[in-house]
Amino acid sequence: MNQETPWLQVPAAPIDEEARRRAEERQTRLTKPLGSLGQLETLATRLAGMQGSDTPRADTVHISIFAGDHGVAAEGISRFPQSVTMEMVRNFVRGGAGISVLARSIDARLEVINLGTVEETGPLEGVTDVRIGPGTANFVQGPAMDLHQLALAMNAGRHAAERARLAGTEVYLAGEMGIGNTTAAAAVACALMGAEPEELVGPGTGLDDDGVRHKAEVIRRALERHREHLDEPVECLRRVGGFEIAAMSGAYLACAQMGMPVLVDGFISSVSALATARICPSARDWFLFAHASAEPGHRRVLEALSARPLLDLGMRLGEASGAATAVPLLRLACDIHGRMATFDEAQVAEAL
């Protein structure tokens, strides 16, 4: 473990099992057949245990978007140039990106963190600048990050989670932006799961079949180069990950340590969650999963996490867009749990 990240060894906070039990008992007394609202009931009871409250809430939502470029883009694994990463960072803070619109719609706080784009513009209003470097190194040729860069990325995620906690956040979301990041995420997932690249690689930014095959071959070369160093999840992130993937992993772990619920987005976010769960297995208790991405490898990653996503809408935008879309479901689950009448209150016979 890197001496710059000793906090990675801190265990996750315990779930309040008594609060969860009380929530489950309340569900048996609400004016409906038990189980008739499916995952809405499970969401409410899980949030009750996470928040240690008889009235769980999902009103205060914080979204951190981590941006960073990837050296592996030099291998021709994306249809778009790396300049798009910084263009999208500007779009986030101007309010024109998908997640910007969704954040306004759900009244969530949106934070944009630049960890290291190829294009350097200096301070940009609305962007937290935590520049680690001009993107990661090409992991086909060597490690994506050195130890110090990995620590900076994971600490950036931790600090974002801490800011969210201090702001009274009830549910934390993280998203990403970076040309080449589905390649990095697939490489990390292959390493953690022992899967073949062809099982997890997808079109990302819209590659055709030849592009997907090339992308898989690039990942295969990287895995072969680093194969003796991929058993340990933190080293796996350093070798074939990305700044934003490592930052999300750090944020998720810090959330679990502080006892703050996480709503995980799609493929890339779920790979970060998988890495976090491998670093600290008890952190998995703090994750809710928003949706099943159209990116082919996502279902395999969800299976590895024993995750049941809330939505399946064919989305694959990233940016925490799927997670933001699922937030209203959390709020509905909390409202039903807290406001629906019990049999006694409604004077209804318990024979439904």
319 catalytic per annotation: yes
Among residues 217, 319, 345, 350, the one annotated as catalytic is 319
Rounded distance between C-alpha atoms, residue 246 and residue 229, angstroms: 17
Q: Which of 266, 262, 263 has its CA nearest to residue 296?
A: 266
Q: Are 176 and 38 in contact (CB under 8 A)?
A: no
Instruction: At 137, list the tokens.
Output: 């190194």
Nearest one of 254, 283, 83 to 174, comparing CA atoms: 254
In Å, how far are 68, 235, 236, 316 from 279, measured between CA atoms?
Answer: 22, 10, 11, 26
Q: Give the neighbor-by-neighbor strand order of the sheet with 262-264.
A: 127-129, 109-116, 61-68, 171-177, 262-264, 287-289
Query: Could you tell me the CA-to-CA distances from 169 to 172, 259, 325 in Å, in that order?
Result: 7, 11, 17
What Rg do the C-alpha atoms of the chain give, in angstroms?
20
Buried b / exposed e over 123-156, threshold 16 CB at 10 Å, is eeeebbebebbebbbbbbeebbbeeebbbbbbbb
Distance CA 154, CA 321 (A): 22
The catalytic residues are 319
